[in-house]
Chain A
Amino acid sequence: MTNVELQKHIDNWFTDPGAVKLEFSEEGSQFLNISIHPDYLHELMWSLKHNKETHLDYLFCLTGVDWGKELGVVYHLESTLHRHSLVVRANVEDRENPVLDSVQDIWATANFHEREVYDFFGIKFNNHPNLKRLFLTDDWEGFPLRKDYVDEVNMVVK
């Protein structure tokens, strides 16, 4: 499907679009982007994979981003059948205790990728079977890829 068809198709899923707050955008990106409220993230992701029309079965990138005020995760999806792609974003405002739903039950690759995001951004994922640090040691303090992370010993500040 083209981006326009995708957008039309997905927009029909939620009967009350005002509450779900789907935001579509193609600005500044080569993909169609959807912003979704964290509460509806898992529901949307489940449909994106299991709906026959979208069939987005390949999660090729999962990125944690520190947007300054908010923390977010960006999911890059592709369909191995229809060869269309889509980007889904979910942001959380609570920097002290950011929580999102895990999608590792939908795409197995998300298991490691979410652990990486937790390791570097401190975003916790609900229903993740093994959410602990992946690269850093368990007693590491702070989350290094956050913009406000300070490590006077190991970081060279220009």
Chain B
Amino acid sequence: METTIVNNDFKSEEYFINMGPQHPATHGVLRLLLTIDGEIIKKVEPDLGYIHRSIEKMCERDSYQQIVHLTDRMDYLSSHINNEAVCLAVENALQLEIPERVKVIRTIIDELTRIASHTLWWGVMGMDVGALTTYFYGFRDRELINDIFEETCGARLTMNYNIPGGLMYDIHPNFVKRVKSFIAHFKTKLPEYDSLLTGNVIFQKRTKGVGILTKADAISFGASGPVGRGSGYSCDVRKHHPYSALDKVPFNEALQTEGDSFARYLVRIQEMWESMSIIEQLIDNIPEGDYNVPTNAVIKLPKGEFYQRVETARGELGVYIISTGTKNPYRLKFRSPGFSNLSLLNHIAVGGKIGDLVATMATLDLVIPDIDR
């Protein structure tokens, strides 16, 4: 029997809806223009620019010390690592010898930042697929890291702890003690994450086989961070282009080969274990010494081009400085990880359902100010 409904009045047709800019699953002001046929996604087109501040243009009139502060406002969950990228670029250009103490402290705080970012991601990831409890677990643990940051850096989110030449001030006397107690605490809590969400059947059904990205596509789309590594693409900048104290610390690169949302999820869980391992290896061996080397009040980079790559919680951040020898950069480009990771969303979401798109976007872990620099 034919399934025609009342004189063919109802036809299967493509139509278009907006997701965002104020949709809870877009985690910020990202607007997605969805072309859908029933529940099936035919096309995803991101509409960007709702919070574009033109940081790159502002950098052209600012001094290098000022630029560091603007980078906080890109990927605000990796602010310390963003700051470090600019500082490293400037230090390399000036050929400054950075004290070992600075390198070790930077790396410890980098990894704490990564754990803080991943716990937040884990919380909202669960929430996106309907498990509200994860949000409270994630924020409970992230709060402890923010308290450590607050004590040492004076701020919880936009830390501005790095300056060209080193650190703004020395670590707080409680720093080592509190980091150790956090690691001891988090080692007992991270298995809870697995028992609460990872093994959950509903969660696995929502994420396994959803949003599959092959390794070849991952490279072609410039995926980086856990998004690339979930597809078996070894892209950890910390491994391939080590900076600060990372060349002295052995750690494993988290890799999964399936390329689906669940693989990206597992990579981030594994990264938290690796970050803890890096911190544990360094926290007892912070060398004595200065916490910065003095630089000129007005920093002038030599004429030339300088590129620095770092691994933020989201992937590869590149800072590309073109200097003409003045106190401002001639051109400064931020290659943000979220921008490239967003560009592959259409590729992996087409053919899936709207609910799958939410799960896929959650594992891309987009931070919109990072895309809308």
Contacts of B54 in A (CB 8 A): 144-145
Contacts of A109 in B (CB 8 A): 220-222, 340, 343
A158–B320 CB distance below 8 A: no
A60–B220 CB distance below 8 A: no
Partner of B335, one of A28, A30, A60, A137: A60
Contacts of B353 in A (CB 8 A): none
Contacts of B342 in A (CB 8 A): 112
A28–B219 CB distance below 8 A: no
Digitize A117-146: 1 where CB-to-B-CB distance is under 8 Å, 0 elsewhere. 000100000000000001111000000110
Partner of B303, one of A28, A65, A108: A28
Q: Tell me if B122 counts as interface (CB < 8 A to partner A).
A: no
Partner of A58, one of B52, B219, B307: B219
B49–A29 CB distance below 8 A: no
Q: Tell me if B61 counts as interface (CB < 8 A to partner A).
A: yes
Q: Tell me if B141 counts as interface (CB < 8 A to partner A).
A: no
B322–A65 CB distance below 8 A: yes
Contacts of B316 in A (CB 8 A): 60
Most buried by B among A29, A30, A65, A112: A112
Contacts of B335 in A (CB 8 A): 60-61, 63, 76
Partner of A135, one of B48, B221, B307: B48
Partner of A108, one of B306, B307, B333, B343: B343
Bound form: Cα–Cα A80–B304 in Å: 26
Q: Tell me if A83 counts as interface (CB < 8 A to partner B).
A: yes
* Chain B count of residues within 8 A CB distance of the other chain: 37
The residue on A at minimum CB distance from B305 is: A29
Bound form: Cα–Cα A145–B60 in Å: 10
- Say yes or no: A30-B331 contact (C-beta < 8 A), given A135-B372, A144-B57: no
A134–B48 CB distance below 8 A: yes
Bound form: Cα–Cα A57–B233 in Å: 12
Q: Tell me if B280 counts as interface (CB < 8 A to partner A).
A: no
Q: Tell me if A40 counts as interface (CB < 8 A to partner B).
A: no
Q: Tell me if B127 counts as interface (CB < 8 A to partner A).
A: no
- Say yes or no: A112-B339 contact (C-beta < 8 A), given A30-B306, A76-B307, A80-B233: yes
B47-74 CB contacts (< 8 Å) to partner A: 48-49, 52, 54, 56-57, 61
Digitize B284-317: 1 where CB-to-A-CB distance is under 8 Å, 0 elsewhere. 0000000000000000001111110100000010
- Say yes or no: A63-B320 contact (C-beta < 8 A), given A28-B305, A134-B49: yes
B221–A61 CB distance below 8 A: no
The residue on B at minimum CB distance from A85 is: B307
Digitize A76-99: 1 where CB-to-B-CB distance is under 8 Å, 0 elsewhere. 100010010000000000000000
A108–B331 CB distance below 8 A: no
Q: Tell me if A7 counts as interface (CB < 8 A to partner B).
A: no
Digitize A53-75: 1 where CB-to-B-CB distance is under 8 Å, 0 elsewhere. 00001111101011000000010
B217–A108 CB distance below 8 A: yes
B307–A107 CB distance below 8 A: no
Contacts of A102 in B (CB 8 A): none
B347–A108 CB distance below 8 A: yes
28 A-B residue pairs with Cβ-Cβ distance under 8 Å, sorted by A, are A27-B304, A29-B305, A29-B307, A31-B307, A58-B219, A60-B316, A60-B335, A61-B320, A61-B333, A63-B331, A63-B333, A74-B320, A76-B318, A80-B235, A107-B220, A108-B222, A109-B221, A112-B339, A112-B340, A112-B343, A116-B339, A134-B49, A135-B48, A135-B52, A135-B372, A136-B52, A145-B54, A158-B61
Contact surface of B with A, Cβ cutoff 8 Å: 48-49, 52, 54, 56-57, 61, 217, 219-222, 233-235, 240, 302-307, 309, 316, 318, 320, 322, 331, 333, 335, 339-340, 342-344, 347, 372
Contact surface of A with B, Cβ cutoff 8 Å: 27-31, 57-61, 63, 65-66, 74, 76, 80, 83, 107-109, 111-113, 116, 120, 134-137, 144-145, 158
Nearest first, the 3 closest Cβ-Cβ pairs linking A and B are: A28-B304, A109-B222, A135-B49
